[in-house]
Amino acid sequence: MKSFKTPKTKVQRLPSRGHYDEETIFRILDAGFLCHVAFEIDHQPYIIPTAYGRNQNTLFLHGSAKNRMLKHLKNGAPAAISITHLDGLVLARSTFNSSMNYRSVVILATGKEVTQKDEKIEALRLITEQIIPQRWEEARIPDDDELKATMVLSFQIDEASAKIRTGPPGDKASDYALDIWAGVLPLNIQYAEPVNDPKLRAGIAVPKSVLQAIQNGIT
């Protein structure tokens, strides 16, 4: 099984929580669609939230062709891409030992612009399907003008690490005798009932992709 561990991605703090195998990392990536991209321009660091899509060892980002981040990263500037799922609050008997249960991935990579039309459309399909499966087939796909106005970057996943915490609090031995509640408050992100566009024509039902998303929730 492929490992993405390198000296730069090795988890330093609590290394036992670090994971570097592609199965674990891809599972975390596939459970979400929102990432944060960190980069630097003229010695000023920035971090931008954006949607992503994955196909095997490649992550895709998209945005306006005038997007400053994408224009900068397409020239090979390094980026750090972070994905996090918060699974619960770990409430210990002390505030010091309180924590969170989470699954996270950090990817270190450089971007490459996707210019071929078929590859660009496929990347946009992957991003759309990452956000809400089956939506690509329900909606109108981008026309030539929209494709021209959109930039897509691909990032090869070669350096990455996952960090995961699960389980109950870990208190000091002396704290277990305290009359203080401790445990885990699980956190789940759920979709609410869909709200129709006020301009929606009469008789158009909520599509399969939305109903399926409500049923499946966000993992």
- How distant is the alpha carbon of residue 47 from its chain centre? 14
pLDDT in tens for each of the 219 residues of the chain? 789 888 999 989 888 888 999 999 999 999 999 999 999 999 999 999 999 999 999 999 999 999 999 999 998 999 999 999 999 999 999 999 999 999 999 999 999 999 999 999 999 999 999 999 999 999 999 999 999 999 999 999 999 999 999 999 999 999 999 999 999 999 988 899 999 999 999 999 999 999 999 988 776
Residue count of the chain:
219
Could you say which DSSP state residue 147 is in?
H
15-170+185-190: CATH topology is: Pnp Oxidase; Chain A (2.30.110)
Rounded Cα distance between 160 and 107, Å, is 4
Distance CA 96, CA 84 (A): 22
Q: What proportions of the chain, in percent to the nearest 5, are helix, strand and coil?
A: 25, 35, 40
Sequence spans of domains, the chain: 15-170+185-190
